[in-house]
Amino acid sequence: MLHQSDQLDLMYQALADASRRAMIERLSRGPASVSELAEPLDMSLSAVMQHLQVLEASGLVNTEKVGRVRTCRIEPQALGVAERWISQRRARWEQRFDRLGEYLAVQADDKQKEEKS
Amino acid sequence: MLHQSDQLDLMYQALADASRRAMIERLSRGPASVSELAEPLDMSLSAVMQHLQVLEASGLVNTEKVGRVRTCRIEPQALGVAERWISQRRARWEQRFDRLGEYLAVQADDKQKEEKS
């Protein structure tokens, strides 16, 4: 099993390419075969397979071959991991501002009381 | 100005490295100078500067030099852009399942009514 940090490396690496994002975009609307994925991309099947390998290694997409058809699906839980890493850092930054706001409000309140007394 | 797709390339590329994520992690707790950023990383200042350039080019971090000190800050709006691209695709996938669930519930309901009538 991959270490969480290595998995994040692979996931963000997978997301850092417009063709791979287009494949995830397509798969967010439902499972697709490799040729369905390739169709709107104006790309050779072998190029699509290479991108698919990057997506699969990252865990963002899984594929299953039944007979001659390989069906691709996104993994919403893996997308959730990539999303949460960012949202938690953003939330921490915003909480910092909230605390700063509260502190300044208390300071202003204290000053007002002092002036009144 | 960068096209949104190019900006996403740069942002996910920037996030695809554990040292750069450690720098964002640190900056989510508040602004820091370059040497403060470098300290916990066991990395040369020049390596830190290189990572910082990648983060700055992506828009996830901005830096400002006053006198001899360069202060680094995260850009929560840019983090929001990287976060939303993922969350929107995940939400679409989940809505798909919700609709499928509703459809199956209606089908089951219709079948029950048919059996009763």
- Tell me what ipTM this predicted complex has: 0.85
- Confidence (pLDDT) at A33: 94
Four-residue CA torsion sign, B60, B65, B66, B72: positive
- Confidence (pLDDT) at B1: 55
**Which portions of chain A are predicted below pLDDT 50?**
none
Mean pLDDT of chain B: 90
Q: What is the pTM of this model?
A: 0.85
Four-residue CA torsion sign, B80, B82, B84, B86: negative
Cβ <8 Å between A8 and B25: no
> Closest to B76 (Cβ–Cβ): which among A11, A18, A94?
A94
CB A27 within 8 A of CB A14: no
Cβ <8 Å between A96 and B18: no
- Confidence (pLDDT) at A53: 97
In chain A, what residues touch B20 (CB-CB under 8 Å)?
none
CB B22 within 8 A of CB B40: yes
**Which portions of chain B are predicted below pLDDT 70?**
1-2, 117
Question: Which of A8, A93, A97, A99 is most worth mutating to test chain B (most B CB atoms within 10 A of its CB)?
Answer: A93
